[in-house]
Amino acid sequence: MDGAFQFSLSDFSFSFLSILLEGLPFLLLGTMIAGVIDQFLPVRLMARLLPRNAYAGVLVSGLLGIIFPICECGVVPIIRRLMAKGLPPANAITYMLAAPIVNPIVAVSTFAAFRGQAPLEVTLLRLGLGYGVAVAVGIVVHNLPLGRVLRTEVIADIAQPQGLSGGGVAGGIAGRLWGALAVCVGDFLSMTVYFVLGATAAALFNTSVNQDFIAPLATNDWLATASLMTLAAMLSLCSTTDAFIAATFSMFPAVAKLAFLVFGPVISLKLVFLYSSIFKERFVFGLVIGLFVMVWLLCMRLTVIGL
């Protein structure tokens, strides 16, 4: 019991199932929306609605979560379909990273969770930093060749912009609905493979690692921030409720809690596996390291304003 690591199959199974039961409905919702997008969204409509200037498009994409709020599990299949419908990858990735944070549900839950702990400041900083890092990644991706970012089969989808299943080209409404079902089921199964792998890793950490070992790190701002970011990645919490957990780390400085809230929804064990279904492994690795360093340094800068 006193060791740093100890495994129990029944406890692991309990944690694993609870993570699956919580996240799976949202993953299913995301794949259903993806199916509808694939069959009913006209090709390049999204690209036409966004500003023509690439950088302005990235800036606007970071705010789409306000209109189309979706959590981090559901957004991954959606952006795959949006890219197949002509949305530039830089815009899609910006939406993917920003939507789990920059959305009204997360704003309300963060404000409620931090009652008595500067809720307005924490909420605004969370949304602001979440938006900032998403836009920064979007701009970097805009300047990268697609081959370094996306998996080959995803690039093939983009190359034939009607989408995998014909994109509603053929058939009437019934044909499109069958097509939407095929896309939904195909995406659900392929994404759930990665979700299962992520939930396995998260449940293993959740039940096997002694969390008391993290507590001594709280006394140093740099270590506290890095350790809570790591914890956020390991726990793989849903962005709509993670603030209620973050608010309880009373021994940790506010910047560390903020880093937990910004980093967790964009990088976690389950998300790394989900991202790998769309992006090249090397890009995912770079995304993890880049976002970790960016969020860490940005949050540490906030200590100068007394947060």
Partner 1 sequence: MTSLFQRFLTAGVLALWGNVLLIIFFTGRICAYLHSNFQPFTLVAGCLLVCFAFLVLIAPATANAHAAARSSVWSVLTSLILVAPLLLAFSSTLDSFGAGTVAKRVYVQDLAQLPSAQPAAAQSANTPQDDKYLLPKNKRGQVQAQIVDFLYAAQLPEVRVQLENKPVEVIGQLMPAKTNNPKGNRFVVIRMMMTCCAADAQPIALPVEPQKKPDLPDMTWVKVTGQAAFPVEGGQRKPLIQDAAIEKIDAPEDPYLY
What is the DSSP code string of 37-98?
HHHHSPTTHHHHHS-SSHHHHHHHHTTHHHHS---HHHHHHHHHHHHHTT--HHHHHHHHHH
Residues 22-51 close enough to bind partner 1 by CB under 8 A: 22, 24-26, 28, 32
The only residue of 45, 49, 112, 293 in contact with partner 1, by rule CB under 8 A: 112
Helix axes 221-235, 281-301, angle to 10 degrees: 140
Site string for partner 1, 251-290 (x = CB under 8 A): x---------------------------------------
Of 232 and 295, nearer to partner 1 (C-beta) is: 232
Inter-residue contact 275 to 195 (CB < 8 Å): no
Site string for partner 1, 235-254 (x = CB under 8 A): x-xx--x--xx-xxxxx---
Which residues neighbour 174 within 8 Å (Cβ) at sequence distance 6 or greater?
none
Phi, psi torsion values for 41, nearest 5 degrees: -80, 120
Which residues neighbour 233 within 8 Å (Cβ) at sequence distance 6 or greater?
263, 264, 267, 268, 269
**Is 67 one of the binding residues for partner 1 (CB under 8 A)?**
no
**Is 17 one of the binding residues for partner 1 (CB under 8 A)?**
yes
Number of chain residues interacting with partner 1 (CB under 8 A): 68
**Is 220 one of the binding residues for partner 1 (CB under 8 A)?**
no
Of 62 and 176, nearer to partner 1 (C-beta) is: 176
The only residue of 103, 207, 225, 277 in contact with partner 1, by rule CB under 8 A: 207
Shortest distance (Å) from residue 276 CB to partner 1: 13
d(CA 137, CA 214) in angstroms, rounded, equals 29
Which residues neighbour 161 within 8 Å (Cβ) at sequence distance 6 or greater?
43, 44, 84, 85, 86, 167
Shortest distance (Å) from residue 86 CB to partner 1: 20
CA–CA–CA angle 134, 137, 139 (5° rounding): 110
**Is 8 one of the binding residues for partner 1 (CB under 8 A)?**
yes
Shortest distance (Å) from residue 162 CB to partner 1: 13
**Is 18 one of the binding residues for partner 1 (CB under 8 A)?**
yes
Helix axes 254-263, 221-235, angle to 10 degrees: 30
**Is 71 one of the binding residues for partner 1 (CB under 8 A)?**
no
**Is 178 one of the binding residues for partner 1 (CB under 8 A)?**
yes
Of 94 and 192, nearer to partner 1 (C-beta) is: 192
**Is 160 one of the binding residues for partner 1 (CB under 8 A)?**
no
The only residue of 59, 134, 184, 271 in contact with partner 1, by rule CB under 8 A: 184
Angstrom CA distances, 27 to 48, 189, 209, stand at 27, 10, 27
- β-partners of residue 150 are 279
Core vs surface per residue 236-264: b (16+ CB within 10 A) or e:
bbbbbebbebbbebeebbbbbbbbbbbbb
The only residue of 78, 93, 114, 288 in contact with partner 1, by rule CB under 8 A: 114
**Is 152 one of the binding residues for partner 1 (CB under 8 A)?**
no
Interface residues with partner 1 (CB under 8 A) are: 1, 6, 8-22, 24-26, 28, 32, 112-117, 164-165, 175, 178-179, 181-186, 188-190, 192-193, 196-197, 200, 202-203, 206-212, 215, 235, 237-238, 241, 244-245, 247-251
